[in-house]
C-alpha cells in the first residue's frame, strides 16, 4: 500500500497573489499517495507542499502496578535493572519496582539566563 501524505498550499510560495495559488489555497488540504504528491509539487511550480505529519500524543503508561499484566511487570523490572531470581512472587516484583522508582528524583529545568 502506498504511503499517504497530506498536501496543501505552500506557505513559502513567493507569488501569493497568483490565481492558481489562490485556487489551491481555497481547495484546502488533500490526502494523496506520496508519489502523486511529488508530481503535484513539481507540476504546480512549488504551489503545493507536503504537510508535516501530525504526531499523536503518546499513550499514558499504566502506572497501577497491580493492574499490569505479568509480562509487562517483567519487562518493567528488567528495564529498571532489578536483580531477579528464577521464581518471584508478584507482590515482591511490585515492591521491587516501587523501590527502584522511588529512588528516581525529577527536578524542574532551570530557566536559562
5-62 per-position pLDDT tens digit: 999 999 888 888 888 888 988 999 999 999 999 999 999 888 999 998 877 766 666 5
Whole-angstrom distance, CA of residue 35 vs CA of residue 52: 16
The model scores a pTM over 0.85:
no
CA 65 to chain centre: 25
Nearest C-alpha neighbor of 7 from the set 16, 15, 36: 36
CB atoms within 10 A of CB 52: 8
Q: What is the pLDDT of residue 63?
A: 66
Q: What is the pLDDT of residue 49?
A: 92
Amino acid at each position: 500500500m502506498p504511503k499517504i501524505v497530506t498536501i496543501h498550499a505552500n506557505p513559502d510560495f513567493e507569488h501569493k497573489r497568483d490565481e492558481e495559488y489562490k485556487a489551491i489555497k481555497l481547495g484546502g488540504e488533500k490526502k494523496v499517495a506520496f508519489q502523486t504528491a511529488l508530481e503535484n509539487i513539481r507540476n504546480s511550480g512549488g504551489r503545493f507542499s507536503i504537510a508535516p505529519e501530525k504526531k499523536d500524543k503518546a499513550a499514558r503508561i499504566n502506572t497501577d502496578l497491580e493492574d499490569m499484566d505479568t509480562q509487562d511487570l517483567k519487562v518493567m523490572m528488567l528495564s529498571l535493572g532489578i536483580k531477579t531470581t528464577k521464581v518471584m512472587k508478584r507482590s515482591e516484583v511490585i515492591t521491587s519496582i516501587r523501590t527502584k522508582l522511588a529512588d528516581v528524583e525529577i527536578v524542574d529545568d532551570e530557566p536559562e539566563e
